[in-house]
């Protein structure tokens, strides 16, 4: 049994992880947290909380030693890239997250694609990598079709430019020439509907969770710039309304093939997939839970999170996971102007009672003596859990109303029947079916 856990990270995802660790009746370990910001939700749940630069391995290992942590759970990607897991393990702390080398599946998109190609992992789009902006631009000129332009390193979900969707070829070339990034992956534009599957992984075991659909674009109707994710939904079953159950299993098979080729990988492997007319393709991998997707998945997971982590720590087979057959809808409230010119320093309209509200997850806010304030990133999320997506959506809206969203932006369309219907129709039209008149032949 683990007595003391250190949680690294202070976003909505980590608030969900903190709840899942602390919620165990009777047997919950002591929880300590560290992050760059003071998340009031985690602060409320934790036995101790420190703020410092969590990409500094020495800071994290010093704090882990100070609190006597036996296990660490690393939420965000930046500490993984910085080798926090390697540093903790060198100090004898079991870390649930991949070492920096394995985290390259997320942190180095050129590695991610060449790894997939080398190991013959299905679902890899046509791609090429460039260290020279001129050569990347020439490739765009010569390529027959649309491309997605991706800086190789981490960009907080905001670095990709998709030609024919968000930008023209000329704008993509300007982006390559003018951006501060110096290395790029250019790949075939995938057309379809995106979904996420997050898997727990240890010692080659893979345990998957229900599919979730995130909404990256900042504004309603999928307009505006890409963000870290504005909200997400999941269904009572494993697959989403626009997918066949088999397509969920096709995506799981890709995750399994990936882990067979990465036998040392430990932690969460997050697959971002595009369901296309030609089947399931990989948009990217992340080496951690999704934010917001963790807030869809952990509240409906019946298997205690600590049971999975304990099994990984002890070298046991991971338990089979059980989920409530419930739908979830998550909506983020973000500072006005997010992501281009967010207004930091807005006081949130929440009182202390909000800290005990299970449907509310705090994110990149800052708790000060006189209240909770926005930073330049996402502020808080609400999650509705119900028997249908429509009912979960209504719950999420009620929760937003109860908290108040003055001075904040929300995508109210996430999880609505209208938006789900457009997803179903989009897939039907790509597959050459008519959604209104299903082919019964």
Which x/- pattern, by CB under 6 A, does the window 223-252 give for ligand GLY? ------x-----------------------
**41 vs 151, beta carbon nearer ligand AMP:** 151
Q: What residue 229 binds from ligand GLY, ligand AMP, none (CB within 5 to 8 A, per partner kind)? A: ligand GLY
The one segment of 23-31, 47-55, 188-196, 351-359 that binds ligand AMP by CB under 6 A: 188-196
DSSP percent split of the chain into helix, strand, coil, nearest 5 = 35, 25, 40
Q: How far is the CB of 197 from ligand AMP (least distance, A)?
A: 14
The one segment of 2-10, 182-190, 370-378, 379-387 that binds ligand AMP by CB under 6 A: 182-190
Choose, by CB under 6 A, the member of 148, 262, 275, 389 that binds ligand AMP: 148
Using CA atoms, how far residue 414 sits from 91, 217, 332, 386, in Å, is 43, 11, 10, 15
**122 vs 236, beta carbon nearer ligand AMP:** 122
Kindly state whether residue 291 participates in binding ligand GLY, applying the rule CB under 6 A. yes
Contact call for residues 331 and 400 (beta carbons, < 8 A): yes
Q: What residue 194 binds from ligand GLY, ligand AMP, none (CB within 5 to 8 A, per partner kind)? A: ligand AMP
Q: Which of residues 198-227 bind ligand GLY (CB under 6 A)?
A: 214
Q: How far is the CB of 280 from ligand GLY (least distance, A)?
A: 18
Of 270, 355, 397, nearest to 22 (Cα)? Answer: 355
Here the tokens at position 378 are 């996402």
Contact call for residues 327 and 374 (beta carbons, < 8 A): no
Kindly state whether residue 286 participates in binding ligand GLY, applying the rule CB under 6 A. yes
Q: Give helix 100-107 / helix 109-118 axis angle, nearest 10°.
A: 100
Of 268, 275, 287, nearest to 248 (Cα)? Answer: 275
Kindly state whether residue 293 participates in binding ligand GLY, applying the rule CB under 6 A. yes
Here the tokens at position 204 are 């080659």
**64 vs 190, beta carbon nearer ligand AMP:** 190
Q: Which of residues 142-171 bind ligand GLY (CB under 6 A)?
A: 157
Rounded distance between C-alpha atoms, residue 398 and residue 396, angstroms: 5
Helices of type H across 49-83: 57-67, 77-81
Q: Any residues with CB less than 8 A from the CB of 23 and at least 6 apart, and which?
A: none
Interface contacts to ligand AMP, rule CB under 6 A: 125, 148, 150, 157, 159-160, 162, 187, 189-190, 194, 216, 226, 272, 283-284
């Amino acid at each position: 049994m683990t007595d003391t856990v250190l949680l690294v990270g202070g976003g909505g995802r980590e608030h969900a992880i903190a709840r899942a660790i602390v919620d165990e009746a009777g047997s919950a370990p002591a929880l300590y947290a560290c992050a760059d910001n003071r998340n009031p939700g985690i602060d409320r749940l934790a036995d101790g909380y420190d703020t410092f630069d969590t990409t500094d391995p020495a800071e994290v290992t010093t704090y882990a030693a100070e609190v006597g942590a036996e296990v660490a759970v690393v939420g965000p990607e930046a500490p993984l890239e910085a080798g926090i897991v390697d540093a903790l393990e060198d100090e004898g702390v079991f870390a649930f997250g991949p070492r920096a080398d394995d985290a390259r599946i997320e942190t180095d998109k050129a590695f991610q694609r060449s790894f997939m190609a080398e190991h013959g992992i299905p679902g890899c789009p046509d791609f090429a990598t460039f260290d020279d902006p001129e050569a990347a631009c020439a490739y765009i000129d010569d390529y027959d079709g649309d491309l997605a332009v991706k800086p190789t390193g981490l960009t907080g979900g905001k670095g990709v430019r998709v030609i024919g969707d968000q930008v023209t070829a000329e704008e993509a070339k300007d982006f390559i020439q003018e951006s501060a990034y110096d290395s790029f992956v250019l790949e075939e534009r995938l057309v379809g509907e995106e979904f996420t599957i997050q898997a727990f992984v240890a010692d080659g075991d893979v345990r998957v969770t229900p599919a979730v659909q995130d909404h990256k674009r900042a504004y309603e109707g999928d307009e505006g710039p890409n963000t870290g994710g504005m909200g997400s939904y999941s269904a009572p079953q494993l697959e989403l309304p626009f997918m066949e159950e088999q397509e969920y299993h096709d995506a799981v098979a890709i995750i399994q093939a990936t882990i067979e080729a990465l036998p040392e990988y430990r932690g969460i492997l997050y697959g971002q997939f595009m369901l296309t007319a030609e089947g399931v393709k990989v948009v990217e991998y992340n080496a951690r839970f999704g934010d917001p997707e963790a807030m869809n998945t952990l509240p409906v997971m019946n298997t205690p999170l600590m049971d999975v982590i304990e099994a990984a720590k002890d070298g046991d087979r991971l338990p089979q996971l059980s989920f409530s057959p419930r739908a979830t809808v998550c909506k983020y409230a973000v500072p006005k102007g997010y992501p281009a010119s967010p207004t930091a320093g807005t006081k949130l309209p929440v009182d202390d009672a909000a800290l005990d509200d299970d449907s509310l997850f705090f994110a990149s806010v800052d708790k000060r003596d006189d209240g909770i304030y926005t930073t330049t990133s996402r502020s808080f999320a609400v999650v509705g859990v119900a028997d249908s997506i429509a009912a979960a959506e209504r719950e999420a809206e009620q929760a937003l109303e109860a908290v108040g969203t003055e001075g904040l932006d929300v995508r109210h369309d996430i999880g609505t029947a209208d938006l789900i219907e457009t997803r179903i129709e989009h897939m039907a039209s790509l597959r050459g079916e008519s959604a209104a008149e299903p082919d019964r032949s």
